[in-house]
Each structure stands twice: as structure tokens, then as C-alpha cells.
A and B are shown apart, each in its own frame.
Chain A
């Protein structure tokens, strides 16, 4: 019973590098989202998806891309990493936006 799986757990990037944070869920949830968590800032929505093939921007989308080709997977791509993207990233899934959201364990990203 995996729930929401995020990989990697930790990552260090150099400024300008690109990478993809992986998120997979096995609960057949339609709704998935990515948040970043910074001290004192709470959880800020980056991108979300209401189903396969449909994505939309959240509060802080700049510098990030997403796609949703399957119900299970919702990867987050950093196009050209910047120190301001140093953060803890959480992926979440739920049946709808207004039902219980299940979060992954997070990815701690450091950009140097």
C-alpha cells in the first residue's frame, strides 16, 4: 500500500541544471498537485492537475513545468534551477480537490 511516492528524497543541483522530481500514486486519484514548503511561508501551490492530460498553474508556477500523461504519474520539471528554488517539494493526490489529500514524503532540493 504505497500511497504517494516521491523520488528522490534529497537532491543537490547546480544553478542552471535541470531535473525532474517524480511523483506516483496508486490510489487511482484524479487530482494531483505539487507544493513547495519554505520556512514561514506554508505550503504554496506550484501546479495541479484534475485528471490525465489536464494541468493548471498554481500560485508559484514560474520556473516549473508539469505534465500528466497517466492518472498515476505527475512529474515536476525544473527547467533551469535557481537558488530561489531551494525548498522542500511535496506531491499530493486526492479524489477531488476537496477530499482528503495524501502527501508524499517530500523531496528536499538544494540549488547551489
Chain B
């Protein structure tokens, strides 16, 4: 049972374009949705996170959009740069109960010049 479904598996975007990665979740009790970025040979690192009391959160070129009714959230990378080439993971968990993060399977992003 995959609790967080992430798509696409891989994505190629031109430099300056918009990268969009989508995630869907099943458990309506989830209330914490982070995105992690991983470069080759490194551990994942937190990029941005959102809680369901807001529909959008922006940090620089990175934006999370959250649709509670559809049980979906997405990561938008504006003005994508070659340095953004990495694997991105969405995740979800429940704040109450201190439950572990459940990760999506990841999206490998390649930004080409």
C-alpha cells in the first residue's frame, strides 16, 4: 500500500522553465507535507514544507501548492536552473502521534541548458 504517490518518475526541463512535481496521498489524517532534495552521493535535505492550514507556500523559486479536497500537493520550481538537477521526494506524516514520514518514490529532475 503506497500512501504517497509521486509523479513523474523523471523530468527533463529546459533552463528557465517551470518544473512541476505532483504527489497524492490517501490518509486524510496527514497534516505535514515536506519536500526533500537529494543530490547524487548525498543525503536528502529539507527544501520546503507545508501544513494544510494554507494552500500555498513560497520560498524563493520554490512553491508548494496544496489541495486538501483532492488530497494532492505539488512542488513548482520557477526559472529552473542546472543546479536544481537532483532527485526530489515528497513526504507526509501526522503531527499528532509523532508518526514517521512516509516518502514518495522520488522524481529525478534534469535541467538542461
- Separation in Å of the B89 CB from the closest CB of chain A? 6
Interface hits, A84-112 → B, CB 8 Å: 90, 92, 96-98, 100-106
Q: Which size bracket describes the interface of B in this complex?
A: 20 to 34
Q: What DSSP secondary structure best describes chain B's contact surface?
A: loop
Asked whether, in the complex, the Cβ of A90 is within 8 Å of the Cβ of B98, the reply is no
- A-B contacts counted at CB < 8 A amount to 59
Q: Chain B: which residue is nearest A4 at the CB level?
A: B43
Residue of A44, A58, A101, A102 with most partner-chain B CB within 10 A = A101
> How long is the Cα–Cα vector from A42 to B36 in the complex, in angstroms?
11
* Distance of A35 Cα from B46 Cα, bound (Å): 15
> Given A42-B89, A98-B95, are A103 and B43 also a contact pair (CB < 8 Å)?
yes
Q: How far is the CB of B29 from chain A (nearest CB, A)?
A: 12
Closest to B104 in A: A42
Q: How far is the CB of A38 from chain B (nearest CB, A)?
A: 10
Among B43, B49, B93, B104, the residue within 8 A (CB) of A90 is B43
Residues on A with beta carbons closer than 8 Å to the beta carbon of B95: 98
Which 3 residue pairs across A and B have the least CB separation, nearest first? A103-B43, A42-B105, A43-B103
